């Protein structure tokens, strides 16, 4: 038989290895290491204590263990603020993008056991919830809440209010903060459902030019929990209950008011639940000595703008001095510094004299108006002085203190008349100009 000889055209089954040029690969690795070093330097920033009412309101609500929802346009630093908050408080941050999850991810996944008829079907929690329970504490960040569909929002109700996911109960030291974009700027956004919206403290998050510039230079504001004064806790609770209950007693329609507008239903609005949240925030703000601006953000973010402003006005009135104490010792009276509060205090004094008029109280009120003129804006005494003068009875002599007020009152009234005359003159001139322009057409 003829023997087969290898053909010169046949190819081996395995090609011999070719020497590789390793220099380019090595250079690429070195450059990536240098790039990593540069990125590390860019991320190397510091923090500093800096007054920031947004950050203070956020940390106060977190300390009060209330769910917070940050509303703001994309790219203004909501996520960065939460990351820095978690780091400052020493809490592990768990971020969950609500819009990319199914309802079962928040209500629990059904797991069929050996005998479901006897044992039932438990709802198993997701892995991130298990990690939070094992850690015992943490900050749960629900991002992109306004892009979550209604079914997912419904599943979030129990998580936000009761801190339960399936059969799992989150630890007490887990705080919940969410972020959302307005529907106009959200990717395929939805309005928040009223039941879910009513479970949050809503904070409008805006950027501060100075904070951004300072932060990009390497120093950002530091988030710290409010320092609560242990000695003020009973007083803070009593003050908060009085503030809320006095308003609702006078305005029962504010106890529950569901907005008719769909967009407003997705924001803060008054209900027994949100009033309870407001009461807690007032107590925390009082114990921490927070500013009125911080309290305004929290109150309006819990029950809405209108009820929140009414609450703040009621709190201002609670801080007013007792008119009877002012009348008892006008020379030592301490009047509020703020103009609107001082005006309200003086009006209260005049009202007290009107309700129980006598010569001594009338004279004391005049002495108090003189003190108010000497320690503040003179124009604030004009209206109370005019009203008090009308209360004089025939057998009451005019006190000498009135002479000290006469100049301020007449000067203020003259200024009012001049202002009215100027406005009228300006209006007439504008009318003449308009008439000439019309005639020239």
In contact, 201 and 69? CB cutoff 8 Å:
yes
Question: Would residue 405 count as lying in a domain?
Answer: yes
User: Quick one: 387 and 257 in the same domain?
Assistant: no
In a domain, 433, yes or no: no
Q: Which tens digit of pLDDT belongs to each residue from 9-51?
A: 444 445 455 455 556 678 888 888 899 999 999 988 888 888 8
CA–CA distance, 155 with 123 (Å, rounded to integer): 13
Instruction: Please say which residue of 274, 292, 318 terminates a domain.
Output: 318
Q: What is the pTM of this model?
A: 0.73
Q: Which helix (H) or strand (E) holds 10?
A: none
Give the pair of three-digit tokens for residue 316: 């201002």
Instruction: Provide the percentage of residues in the chain whose pLDDT is more than 70.
Output: 82
Cβ-proximal residues to 334 (8 Å cutoff; 6+ apart), any chain? 321
Q: What is the mean pLDDT of residues 53-71?
A: 94
Q: What is the pLDDT of residue 309?
A: 93
Q: Is residue 31 situated within a structural domain?
A: no
Beta strand extents in 157-305 (DSSP E only): 164-165, 168-169, 173-180, 201-204, 219-221
Mean pLDDT (the chain) is 82
Q: Are 249 and 281 part of one and the same domain? A: yes
> 270 in a domain, yes or no?
yes
Q: Do 304 and 263 share a structural domain?
A: yes
Contact 314, 242 (CB under 8 A): no
What is d(CA 179, CA 207) in angstroms, rounded to the nearest whole number? 15
Domain identity same for 353 and 297: no
d(CA 278, CA 57): 12
Residue 392, CA distances (Å) to 111, 218, 337, 384, 403 in order: 84, 67, 29, 13, 15
For residues 180 and 88, state if they share a domain: yes
pLDDT at 420 over 70: no
Domain span at 287 = 230-318
CATH number of the domain that 178 lies in?
A: 3.40.50.300
In-domain check, residue 25: no
Looking at the structure, tell me whether residues 207 and 236 fall in a common domain. Answer: no
pLDDT for res 412? 42
Tens-digit pLDDT profile for residues 172-208: 999 999 999 887 666 566 888 999 999 999 999 988 8
Cα→Cα distances 72→148, 158, 294, 301, 340, Å:
16, 25, 18, 13, 32
d(CA 163, CA 129): 10
Provide the pLDDT for residue 142. 94
Q: Is residue 7 part of a domain?
A: no
Say whether both 137 and 200 belong to one domain.
yes
Task: Quote the pLDDT of residue 187.
Answer: 59
Domain count across the chain: 3
Same domain? 217 vs 146:
yes
Higher pLDDT, 247 or 319: 247
For residues 367, 371, 372, 373, the Cα torsion angle rounded to the nearest 10 degrees is 100
The reply to whether 96 falls in a domain is yes
275-288 pLDDT, tens digit each:
999 999 999 999 99
Does residue 241 share a domain with residue 209? no
DSSP 43: H
Q: Measuring CA to CA, how many Å separate 61 from each of 80, 150, 209, 297?
A: 18, 26, 24, 11
d(CA 145, CA 202): 12
**Residue 203 DSSP symbol:** E
Q: Does 195 lie in the same domain as 103?
A: yes
22 belongs to a structural domain: no
Boundary of a domain, candidates 221, 243, 263: 221
Is 303 in the same domain as 336?
no
Q: How far apart are CA 126 and CA 357, in angstroms?
A: 72
Q: Domain ends where: 221, 242, 275?
A: 221
Residue 242 pLDDT = 94
177 & 278 share domain: no
Residue 65 pLDDT exceeds 90: yes
């Amino acid at each position: 038989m003829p023997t087969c000889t290898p053909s010169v055209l046949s190819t081996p089954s395995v090609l011999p290895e070719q020497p590789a040029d390793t220099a380019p690969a090595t250079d690429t690795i070195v450059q990536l290491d240098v790039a990593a070093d540069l990125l590390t330097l860019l991320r190397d920033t510091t923090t500093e204590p800096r007054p920031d009412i947004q950050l203070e309101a956020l940390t106060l609500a977190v300390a009060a263990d209330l769910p917070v929802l940050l509303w703001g346009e994309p790219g203004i630093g909501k996520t960065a603020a939460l990351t820095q908050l978690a780091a400052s408080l020493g809490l592990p941050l768990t971020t969950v993008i609500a819009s990319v999850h199914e309802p079962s991810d928040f209500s629990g996944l059904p797991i069929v056991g050996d005998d479901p008829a006897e044992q039932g079907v438990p709802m198993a929690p997701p892995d991130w919830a298990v990690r939070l329970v094992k850690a015992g504490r943490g900050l749960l960040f629900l991002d992109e809440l306004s892009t979550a569909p209604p079914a997912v929002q419904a599943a979030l109700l129990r998580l936000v209010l009761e801190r339960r996911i399936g059969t799992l109960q989150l630890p007490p030291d887990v705080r919940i903060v969410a972020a959302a974009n307005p529907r106009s700027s959200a990717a395929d956004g939805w309005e928040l459902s009223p039941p879910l919206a009513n479970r949050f403290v809503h904070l409008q998050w805006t950027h501060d030019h100075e904070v951004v510039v300072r932060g990009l230079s390497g120093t950002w504001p530091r988030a710290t929990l409010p320092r609560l004064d242990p000695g003020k806790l009973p007083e803070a609770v009593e003050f908060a209950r009085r503030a809320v209950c006095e308003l609702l007693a006078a305005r029962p329609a504010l106890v529950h008011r569901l907005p008719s507008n769909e967009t407003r239903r997705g924001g803060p609005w008054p209900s027994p639940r949100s009033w309870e949240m407001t009461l807690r925030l007032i107590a925390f703000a009082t114990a921490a000595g927070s500013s009125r601006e911080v309290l305004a953000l929290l109150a309006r973010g819990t029950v809405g703008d209108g009820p929140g402003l009414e609450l703040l006005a009621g709190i201002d009135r609670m801080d007013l001095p007792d008119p009877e104490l002012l009348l008892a010792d006008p020379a030592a009276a301490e009047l509020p510094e703020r103009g609107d509060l001082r005006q309200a205090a003086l009006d209260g004094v005049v009202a007290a004299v009107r309700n129980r008029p006598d010569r001594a109280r009338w004279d004391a009120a005049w002495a108090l108006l003189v003190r108010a003129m000497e320690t503040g804006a003179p124009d604030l005494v004009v209206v109370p002085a005019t009203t008090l003068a009308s209360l004089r009875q025939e057998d009451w002599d005019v006190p000498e203190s009135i002479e000290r007020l006469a100049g301020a009152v007449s000067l203020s009234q003259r200024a009012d008349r001049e202002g009215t005359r100027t406005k009228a003159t300006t209006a007439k001139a504008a009318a003449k100009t308009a008439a000439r322009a019309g005639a020239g057409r």
